[in-house]
Amino acid sequence: MDLDAECIPLAHILTYFSIREKPRFEVDNGLAPLDSERPSRERHIETLISITLGMDYQEMFQNLGVDLSDGVIADRYLSTRQVLALVEQAIDRLNMPYLGLFIGNIMTVSHYGMAGLAVVTQPNLRECCLLLSRFCREYFPPLEISVHVDEDVSWIAIEENISLKPYQEFFIELNFVSFYNMVYDLVGHDSKMMPIRIELAYPEPAWGHIYRRYFNCPVVFNRPQNRMIRKTHGIDLDLPLANRLLAITAEKVFLQNIPTRAMKYLPLKLKHFLARSYGAYPTLEKSARELGVSSRTLRRKLAEEGTSYKQEVDKVKERFAREYFARGGRSVAELANLLGFSNTPAFTRAFKRWTSLTPSEFILKTTGINIELVD
């Protein structure tokens, strides 16, 4: 996908910018209110409303060539470039570079409507996180959210499918703060169930000290991946609002109301196929057959999106390598083998091409640890 591919539902983006109103799906569905509405959130809502009273959201969209005056939202899509321009306008008008943190703290589960209802009525945290990752894949394809579960710790990782610079912090902040608060609400404020560490793949911004207001756990910058980490214990425990039938119904209604274009894009479909094939990456011809197109069509579609089959394979390999190092892996030989390289020097050359750093330099930069990697 490229910056101008219109694949982000307008209705989803309006969730970010229509923050004066707070939907109450709990009341509509006869449920006890879930959101704790901690005092900090209440203050944020009051403050944000007061400072945005003079902001004309219609004008912000009109500046992008998007006319909202007809009230038609269904089947309308924005490009990544347009969404970045919206974020730029909002940050500039409010003079608030940390806007992602601010909005994320306000966007409780209720703001997501039926999507939020589908998430909180899942049977456990594992299923909640998996559904979140699916919703993100479908409704904000510039980001990829994945769920990982090890014996001791589990985490949600956020990666960019396309560069969101210079506002990548906005999207990571918004999602992580929102997820953090969602977990807080779902586990009954049990500190033992909360995230224990936030890792961010970008340098600490000028407002980095503000992060501590939103996360009651260590926040570390310049890491291999964007990760929200918690102990695996309790990930499969029943949640208070678990209701499989209601979850299925809410998800169905949500999907019907906000159609998706994300998986119509061949590069995204290819990436998900390749991610399932690490270590034994298929040829372009085999991938084309799996996706139901000819080799020529796949090459052409990828070229139209400004990419190639080799580039897509490299993106998947780079993401896997970053995850390997994030999890404490240190063996270059093991990683090279996992990724299908013929030898470690070949992997090292490829890794430096992807990141401009050797594996040891990457570990030093992202952990501060100066070590010799195991061959």
Report the C-alpha gap between 89 and 57 in whole angstroms. Answer: 10
> Token pair 């944000």 is at which residue?
48
Phi, psi of 172, rounded to the nearest 5 degrees = -70, -45
Strand partners, 145: 158
The string of DSSP letters for 207-219 reads TGGGGGGT-SS-E
CA 75 to chain centre: 23
Report the C-alpha gap between 373 and 369 in whole angstroms. Answer: 11
Report the C-alpha gap between 356 and 148 in whole angstroms. Answer: 27
Mean pLDDT per 10-residue run, the chain (375 residues)? Answer: 82 70 43 48 53 64 85 83 93 89 80 82 90 83 90 92 93 94 83 92 94 93 94 89 83 69 66 72 88 88 86 87 79 86 92 91 77 58
Contact criterion met (CB below 8 Å) for 157 and 317: no
Q: Which two tokens stand for residue 90?
A: 């909002």
Task: Give CA angle at 264 (258, 270), nearest 5°.
Answer: 130
Domain spans in the chain, listed from the N-terminal domain onward = 6-257, 265-367
Q: Architecture of 265-367 per CATH?
A: Orthogonal Bundle (1.10)
Side chain identity at residue 8, one-letter code: I
Q: Which two tokens stand for residue 334?
A: 């093991």
Pairing outcome for strands 197-199 and 226-231: antiparallel
Q: Which two tokens stand for residue 272?
A: 């998900």
Contact criterion met (CB below 8 Å) for 51 and 94: yes
The string of DSSP letters for 275-330 reads HTTTTSPPPHHHHHHHHTS-HHHHHHHHHHTT--HHHHHHHHHHHHHHHHHHTT--
Report the C-alpha gap between 44 and 366 in whole angstroms. Answer: 33
Contact criterion met (CB below 8 Å) for 133 and 147: yes
Side chain identity at residue 38, one-letter code: R
Q: Which two tokens stand for residue 72?
A: 């038609």
CA 82 to chain centre: 18
pLDDT at 261: 60
Stretch (H or E) spanning 160: strand 153-160
Contact criterion met (CB below 8 Å) for 230 and 150: no
- Nearest CA to 11 among 256, 272, 221? 256
Contact criterion met (CB below 8 Å) for 120 and 186: yes
pLDDT at 249: 83
pLDDT at 38: 54
pTM passes above 0.85: no
Contact criterion met (CB below 8 Å) for 284 and 309: yes
Q: Which two tokens stand for residue 341?
A: 């390289």
Report the C-alpha gap between 358 and 18 in whole angstroms. Answer: 44
Using the Cα atoms of residue 122, residue 169, residue 3 and residue 258 in order, give the sign of their dihedral: positive
